[in-house]
């Protein structure tokens, strides 16, 4: 019946270097990084006063994120400081999400039937690593600006020393309970940020694989709308990741001001 | 019931029930956005990206259900 290819959440191992397994998802993320680096170096060497088409596109992208950051922070100096991180996340995720639509990339198959390349964001480790980077950056920025205030946002024991009446005691307990919820919420942010990106990209891959494998007749034209959908959602998810990262970092930085 | 059958049933139920909330939510987002656009067509360019962003965030609960059902199907 249906010839659906085996779908695995864990990436397949391509080769091993010493004790270290090199998976296809990791290999693709290195390739994505190399493509991005070469593209940026070439673009930078060709910057002109009268811009080329690519330069206009990149400048538009930069202005979009810069104005968003200025709105989020309210200060241009800080926006300039954090622009490379946000724009870097966006460009990397956009390229990583669209990596397998590059022609012939999916055609390289090893002898034992594993793909040589695989969508890097369709492996849970990469989204969760990016989410942890965002989490750490936001907390480190808040902690270095005002350490005591940042800790005070999450542990509100100080409320107990201000208790004057019975009502205040109730409020103090409530505040501490809310602070615990805030701590859980911080970790939930990491999971939700990562799961959103991973789920969308992996679902796109699975959907195309299932439709292609349904029968002989659904191999050629039928998967096209699903490809288009997954490409579209790849772009949207990259934008959402960057904007949410922006709002997490700026929200954390504002909470200690 | 066999473990394999229970797994398949759980994955299907998880995805089906998990899709109800985001479905309603995205409908509300799209409806409101179109309402706003038709009231003020000049703002349509600004509303569209915000609508897509809101939809992508609304979708996240559906994506959690998807991740759970994928884990049920392929990992557990």
Instruction: Please give the model's pTM, rounded to 2 decimal places.
Output: 0.84
Give the model's pLDDT for residue A91: 92
Classify A23 as helix, strand or coil: strand
Q: Check CB contact under 8 Å for A240 and B57.
A: yes
CB pairs under 8 A between A and B: 43
Give the model's pLDDT for residue A1: 43
Beta bridge partners of residue A77, listed in sequence order: none
Domain boundaries, chain A: 13-254
Comparing alpha-carbon positions, the chain A residue that sits nearest to B63 is A199
Alpha carbon distance B66, A6 (integer Å) = 18
Give the model's pLDDT for residue B48: 85
Comparing alpha-carbon positions, the chain A residue that sits nearest to B70 is A9
Q: How many helices (H) and strands (E) does chain A have?
A: 8, 2
Instruction: Encode chain A (257 residues) as per-residue pLDDT tens digits.
Output: 456 666 777 777 777 787 888 888 888 889 899 999 999 999 888 888 888 888 899 999 999 889 888 888 888 888 888 899 999 999 999 999 888 888 887 777 777 777 778 888 888 889 999 999 999 999 998 888 888 888 888 887 777 777 777 778 888 888 888 888 888 888 888 888 898 888 888 888 888 888 887 877 777 888 888 888 888 888 888 988 998 898 888 888 888 87
Beta bridge partners of residue A23, listed in sequence order: A13
Number of domains comprising chain B:
1
Question: What is the phi/psi pair of residue A18, to 5°?
Answer: 65, -125
Q: Which residues from chain A sit within 8 angstroms of residue B49, using beta carbons?
A: 239
Nearest to A252 by CA among A175, A177, A145, A127: A145
- The complex scores an ipTM of 0.76
Distance from CA of A200 to the nearest CA of B (A): 7
Give the model's pLDDT for residue A221: 84
CB-closest option in A8, A192, A203 to B60 = A192
Question: What is the phi/psi pair of residue A8, to 5°?
Answer: -130, 140
Give the model's pLDDT for residue A34: 93
> What is the CA A243 to chain-centroid distance, rounded?
10
Range of the domain at B33: 2-74
Tokens of A107: 């055609």
**Around Cβ A74, how many Cβ atoms within 10 Å?**
12
Q: Using one digit for the tens of pLDDT, what is the confidence trace for B30-39? A: 999 999 999 9
Question: What is the phi/psi pair of residue A102, to 5°?
Answer: -65, 130
Give the model's pLDDT for residue A116: 79
Q: Which residues from chain B sit within 8 angstroms of residue A200, using beta carbons?
A: 59, 63
For residues B11 and A206, the answer to whether their CB atoms sit within 8 Å is no
CATH number at residue B7: 1.20.20.10
Q: Check CB contact under 8 Å for B71 and A8.
A: no
Q: Check CB contact under 8 Å for B56 and A240.
A: yes
């Amino acid at each position: 019946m249906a010839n659906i290819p085996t779908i695995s959440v864990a990436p397949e191992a391509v080769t091993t270097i010493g004790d270290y397994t090199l998976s296809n998802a990791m290999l693709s993320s290195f390739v994505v990084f190399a493509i991005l680096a070469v593209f940026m170096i070439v673009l930078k060497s060709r910057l002109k006063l009268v811009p080329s088409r690519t330069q206009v596109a990149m400048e538009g992208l930069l202005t979009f994120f810069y104005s968003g950051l200025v709105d989020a922070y309210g200060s241009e100096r800080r926006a300039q400081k954090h622009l490379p991180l946000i724009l870097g996340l966006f460009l990397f995720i956009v390229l990583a999400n669209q990596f397998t639509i590059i022609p012939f990339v999916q055609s390289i198959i090893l002898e034992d039937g594993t793909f040589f390349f695989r969508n890097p964001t369709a492996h849970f480790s990469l989204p969760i690593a990016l989410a942890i980077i965002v989490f750490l950056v936001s907390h480190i920025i808040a902690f270095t600006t005002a350490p005591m205030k940042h800790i005070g946002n999450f542990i509100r024991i100080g409320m107990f020393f201000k208790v004057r009446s019975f009502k205040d005691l109730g409020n103090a307990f409530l505040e501490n309970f809310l602070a615990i919820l805030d701590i859980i919420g911080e970790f939930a942010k990491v999971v939700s940020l990562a799961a959103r990106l991973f789920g969308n990209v992996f679902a796109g891959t699975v959907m195309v694989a299932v439709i292609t494998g349904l029968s002989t007749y659904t191999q050629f034209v039928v998967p096209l709308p699903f490809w288009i959908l997954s490409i579209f959602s790849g772009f949207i998810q990259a934008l959402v990741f960057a904007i949410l990262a922006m709002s997490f970092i700026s929200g954390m930085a504002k909470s200690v001001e | 019931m066999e473990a394999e059958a229970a797994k398949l049933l759980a994955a299907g139920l998880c995805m089906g029930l998990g899709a109800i909330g985001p479905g309603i939510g995205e409908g509300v987002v799209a409806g409101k956005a179109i309402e706003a656009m038709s009231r003020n067509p000049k703002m349509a360019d600004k509303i569209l990206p915000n609508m897509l962003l809101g939809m992508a965030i609304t979708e996240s609960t559906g994506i959690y259900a998807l991740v759970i059902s994928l884990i049920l199907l392929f990992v557990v």
